């Protein structure tokens, strides 16, 4: 429903479908207004709030021209920031606001790289990279508007990442163990098949529904990047979908309360499903996605086919899997070449339990 909003009033609808309204005034805190525009309670609160002459909001000096605070406010209102996905904006804003707390009053024109380096030195290697991603967009905005003349991130050094290999890609035995515990017709099995067969992130899996399928192809845009992906609905996934009770929900997966999952809530739910199956903590929803990419690459998917299936924008992401698959393939082909040549294990190995004559050589001969 649309309302005609009075001057200074801004409204939006929450994810639960509830409309909320605020009065905003320069230098003053925003005021929540009850009811809907035009209702007696709304107009009374609006009139009182307009007449209320409060002192300027604490922290209004944060927007002093030329400071990091003002530059961040400018970045938040720019097109580059608004083009980011909701989850990306949320995570990056959390970082930028922490950066504001430490450097907000500094002049942006002379933003020293040493200040940023000192902040990053207190972070873990993974956190350093997340901070750099968040700061890079803001710095690009400042460079474009000539707020700064040089890039303060150019001289920043990051600590080396430990070689952990990232998320554990599931093994075939782990997949079989999950399938044995969660059979077709359960919500857990449907979640598993969506992750495995579609190979998408949990933030995309929770949005999947029948409306995204046309002629056996699921077409969606990734939430984080907006890049479209196209996934053919394979028989296993179709069987898992068909085995579930009919519903009028827009998503395949819903909570026990009949509401769509959030990405974080789904991650916790799937973690519990893995525990029920007796799987180790290393088995995660993202690890199942890595297994799917590895499986397809080992069966001959090209770099560009993987990019189309998983919605990747960089060919380097696909090459991580195709290169590993090619190494395995070449090793198998190499094994065929030396088969029967005597290289490696002998065709008739001598048993350690058999007594064999030992030929004496040298001085003791």
Residues 67 and 47 in one domain: no
Q: Whole-prediction pTM value? A: 0.57
210/67 same-domain check: no
| pLDDT tops 80 at residue 149 | yes
What is the predicted pLDDT for the residue at 264?
A: 86
Residues 181 and 304 grouped into a single domain: yes
- Residue 52 pLDDT: 64
Residue 25 has pLDDT above 50, yes or no: yes
Whether 59 has a pLDDT exceeding 90, the answer reads no
Per-residue pLDDT at 1: 56
Examine the fold and report which residue of 126, 144, 162 is the final residue of a domain before the chain moves on.
Answer: 144
Q: Please count the structural domains in the chain.
A: 3
Tell me if 274 sits within 8 A of 156, measured CB to CB.
Answer: no
Task: Note whether 242 and 271 are same-domain residues.
Answer: yes
222 shares its domain with 304:
yes
Res 138: pLDDT: 94
Residue 322 has pLDDT above 60, yes or no: yes
Inside any domain, residue 79: yes
Q: Mean pLDDT across the stretch 184-199? A: 90
pLDDT score for 193: 92
How many whole angstroms separate alpha carbon 147 and alpha carbon 91? 24
Q: Do 102 and 21 share a structural domain?
A: no
**Residue span of the structural domain in which 139 resides:** 62-144
Please tell me whether residues 246 and 263 are part of one structural domain: yes
Same domain, 49 and 183: no
């Amino acid at each position: 429903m649309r309302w005609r909003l009075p001057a200074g009033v801004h409204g939006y609808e929450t994810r639960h479908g509830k409309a909320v309204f605020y009065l905003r005034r320069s230098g003053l805190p925003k005021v929540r207004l009850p009811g809907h525009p035009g209702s007696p309670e709304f107009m009374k609160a609006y009139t009182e709030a307009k007449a209320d002459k409060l002192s300027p909001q604490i922290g209004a000096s944060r927007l002093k021209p030329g400071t990091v605070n003002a530059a961040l406010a400018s970045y938040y209102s720019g097109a580059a920031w608004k083009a980011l996905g909701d989850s990306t904006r949320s995570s990056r804003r959390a970082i930028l606001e922490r950066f504001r707390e430490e450097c907000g009053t500094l002049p942006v024109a002379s933003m020293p790289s040493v200040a940023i380096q000192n902040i990053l030195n207190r972070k873990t290697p993974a956190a350093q990279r997340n901070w750099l991603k968040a700061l890079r967009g803001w710095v690009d905005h400042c460079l474009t508007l000539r707020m700064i003349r040089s890039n303060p991130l150019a001289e920043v050094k990051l600590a080396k990442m430990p070689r952990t290999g990232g998320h554990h890609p599931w093994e075939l035995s782990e997949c079989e163990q999950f399938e044995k515990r969660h059979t077709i017709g359960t919500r857990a099995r449907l979640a598993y098949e969506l992750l495995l067969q579609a190979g998408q992130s949990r933030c995309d899996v929770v949005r999947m529904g029948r409306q995204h399928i046309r002629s056996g192809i699921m077409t969606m845009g990734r939430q984080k990047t907006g890049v479209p992906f196209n996934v053919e609905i394979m028989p296993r996934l179709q069987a898992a979908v068909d085995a579930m009770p009919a519903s009028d929900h827009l998503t395949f997966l819903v909570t026990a309360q009949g509401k769509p999952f959030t990405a974080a809530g789904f991650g916790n739910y799937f973690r519990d499903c893995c525990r029920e199956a007796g799987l180790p903590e290393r088995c995660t929803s993202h690890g199942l996605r890595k297994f799917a990419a590895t499986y397809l690459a080992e069966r001959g998917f090209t770099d560009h086919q993987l990019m189309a299936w998983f919605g990747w924008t960089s060919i380097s992401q696909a090459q991580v899997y195709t290169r590993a698959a090619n190494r395995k393939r070449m090793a198998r082909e190499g094994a065929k070449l030396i088969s029967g040549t005597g290289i490696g294990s002998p065709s008739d190995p001598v048993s350690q339990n058999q007594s064999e004559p030992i030929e004496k050589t040298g001085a003791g001969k």
